[in-house]
Structure 1
Amino acid sequence: MSDTTQPPQPRNHPLAGVIGWPIAHSRSPSLHGHWLQRYGITGYYVPLPVMPEHLAEVLRVMPRMGFVGANVTIPHKESVLALADVVTDRAALIGAANTLIFRADGKIHADNTDGYGFIANIRQHAPDWRPEQGPAALIGAGGAARAVVASLLESGVPELRIANRTRIRAEQIKAEFGAKLVVYDWAEAGNMIEGATTVVNATSMGMEGKPPLRVPLDALSPGTLATDLVYTPLITPFLAEAQARGCQIVDGLGMLLHQAAPGFERWFGQRPEVDAALREVLLA
């Protein structure tokens, strides 16, 4: 009697990852790995070190390897826009993408969820925040700052003040985002804070291994919301001083967590929860 048992058929498990150069420092694999385990999803999320000159080639081959999407980090967030077939309005406005979806029709869809993550983090930890109640002050005008600008304007801030060590970068953002932006010289960054109800540090200053943020914070008012995009350390010197002055503070870790959620949902079919347990995993 012949054996009619069929060999097991291969199963396709969703595969995603994070592309950057370097990438060993990324916390995204731990973050997505936690969600995959929590929801019992048989999928994988891996770090992908990709040099800039190899980016286009890697993106072309990833869908054929079983990838359903990827996160994108430094230095590729701007470059991927030119390589994507479909770019969302917010990614085009910000000028960078952090989330790619490899569609069934073979096209690459590029989005930017940094602004979503920024606002969702504030809403979670400062539910009484009212952006429309007063001006916002933004320190820094780099890539991450553009996502913050877009999200603050969308949230309804009546005025957005911005200062950067290189003034021309702040002027470029104002030229693109409009009349609600007011550019201050770097030497006036401390004055810019006066009367602001939301203050954001979007520079790397204050991060472990980086120079401190040397902006006078005397003008901070009690009750002001202060948030930092830096999350190493979790409580930066900027946030510590803001808290001592009676401000409500929100650390930067939640932005990382929330910006990851839309991509995870698109790739793995489950909207993940951002909670205290997830924070503990990332802080461990």
Structure 2
Amino acid sequence: MTTPHPRAFVVGHPIAHSRSPLIHGHWLAEHGLPGTYERVDVRPDAFPDFVRSLREAGFVGGNVTIPHKEAAFRLVDGLTPRAERIGAVNTLWFEDGRLHGDNTDAPGFLAHLDASLGAGWPEATGIAHGRAALVLGAGGAARAILVGLLDRGLERLIVANRSAERAESLTALDPARISAIPWDAVPSRLPETGLLINTTALGMAGQDPLTLDLAPLPGGAAVADVVYVPLETPLLAAARARDLPAVDGLGMLLHQAVPGFRHWFGRTPVVTPSLRARIVADLGSHG
């Protein structure tokens, strides 16, 4: 009797836009591994039943995207400490007969920062000398990134959001190191910022641009954007115009996929220029 090939998925609603099958398909081919990775569109009301029937459907695990990450957090049997703090799950796998959940957005973002800026970026950006990381937005991506930055040891984190209450709620992750400010206070805090991170949808194709004058940012400060459609957002273009390091959103998508592939297919893949080029080409062909 032959062993069935591992079968993984990305689930969301809608899901047709997901590039995850391209990423994992690239790695399966690169490593010469049997297995499949597929998109599954599941409505929110049907998601609990979908999760409960994963093993019966022959899945070894998968990725979870909008709008199911918080629901997945509540449905798994075991959580990583990181997922517990973030309150959302984007990666599922079976281990010892139990369904486990993790949130790999935090390490994915940090891995991309390291790859883009070099491992010494806290020193280069001035973060190591008292400058702050300023996070724009207070949704799931902001929460994951804050947890990643806390785990990396950053001492000064500032959150700004149009809803002040949502920004304030994120300070509970570490009140000693995270402070919240009103959205209109962002320009006044740029002079003390070493790393500016946009986690909002502003600047995304079809959305309003993020209009922010980066002139007050100090030299050496870096600018990151989680948006990757378009790859060069107006915010990143403004950073490059000032000769500041600019970190696009695609790398986070690529690096967050690594742990799941390892769980499902037993190999640790590498984010390579050829993989990035393949996804960039796909974005261009659909953009």
State the TM-score, normalized to the length of structure 2.
0.93
**Alpha-carbon offset, residue 246 of structure 1:** 2.3
- One-letter amino acid of the structure 1 residue matched with residue 138 of structure 2: A
Amino acid at match of 2:200: T
- Cα distance, 1:118 vs structure 2: 0.3
Check if 1:113 corresponds to 2:100: no
Question: Residue 197 of structure 1: SS of its match in structure 2?
Answer: strand
Looking at structure 1, the residues matched to 249 and 105 of structure 2 have their Cα atoms a distance apart, in angstroms, of: 12
Counterpart residue number, 2:285: none
Please state how far the C-alpha of 1:154 moved relative to its aligned partner: 1.4
Question: In the alignment, residue 105 of structure 2 is paired with which amino acid?
Answer: D
Which amino acid in structure 1 is aligned with residue 20 of structure 2? S
Note the alpha carbon deviations across 1:25-76, whole angstroms, 9 max, x for none: 0000011010001100110000010111111111111112221111000000
CA distance in 1, matches of 2:173, 2:112: 25
Other-structure match for 1:3: none
The alpha carbon displacement at 1:11 in A equals 3.2
Structure 2 residue corresponding to 1:123, chosen from 114, 118, 139: 114
Write the letter of the residue equivalent to 1:282: I
Distance 2:14 2:30 in 1: 28
- Trace 1:241-260 onto structure 2 (pairs within 5 A): 241-260=238-257
Partner Cα separation in structure 1 for residue 178 and residue 95 of structure 2: 37
Residue of 237, 260, 264 corresponding to 2:261: 264
Out of 120, 141, 146, the residue aligned to residue 144 of structure 1 is: 141
Q: Partner of 2:44 in structure 1?
A: 52
Aligned residue identity for 1:77: K
Q: Which residue of 2 aligns with 1:21?
A: 13
Preserved CA contact (<8 Å) 2:69 2:89: yes
Runs of 4+ in 1 over 6 A off after TM superposition: none
Number of aligned positions between the proteins: 275
Name which of structure 1's ranges 16-25 and 62-71 shifts more when overlaid on structure 2.
Answer: 62-71
Cα distance in 2 between the residues matched to 1:97 and 1:177: 20
Q: After TM superposition, give the deviation of residue 249 of structure 1 in Å.
A: 1.1
Instruction: Answer yes or no: is 1:40 the counterpart of 2:32.
Output: yes
Residue 181 of structure 1 deviates from its aligned partner by 1.1
Is 1:220 matched up with 2:212? Answer: no
CA contact (8 A) 1:150 1:177 kept: no
Q: 2:92–2:102: 8 Å Cα contact kept in structure 1?
A: yes
Amino acid at match of 2:80: T
**1:132-178 per-position Cα deviation (integer Å, ceiling 9, x unaligned):** 33211111111100011111111122211111011100000012332
Contact 1:21–1:75 under 8 Å retained in 2:
yes
User: Within 5 A, what are the aligned runs for 1:1-284?
Assistant: 9-105=1-97, 107-127=98-118, 128-130=120-122, 131-133=127-129, 134-284=131-281
Tell whether the 8 Å contact from 1:118 to 1:259 is kept in structure 2 after alignment. yes
Secondary structure of the corresponding residue to residue 203 of structure 2: coil
Supply the distance in 2 between the matched residues of 1:138 and 1:271 (Cα, whole angstroms). Answer: 30
1:195 CA drift (Å): 1.7
CA-CA distance at 1:255 after TM superposition: 0.3
3-state secondary structure, aligned to 2:192:
coil
* Higher-Rg member (1/2): 1
Q: 2:229 & 2:202 partners in 1: Cα distance? A: 11
Distance in 1, Cα, partners of 2:257 & 2:234 = 26
Cα drift, residue 125 of structure 1: 1.2
User: Structure 1 counterpart of 2:232, which letter?
Assistant: I
RMSD: 1.1
Give the Å deviation of 1:104.
Answer: 4.5
Taking the aligned partners of 1:250 and 1:261, their CA distance within structure 2 comes to 19
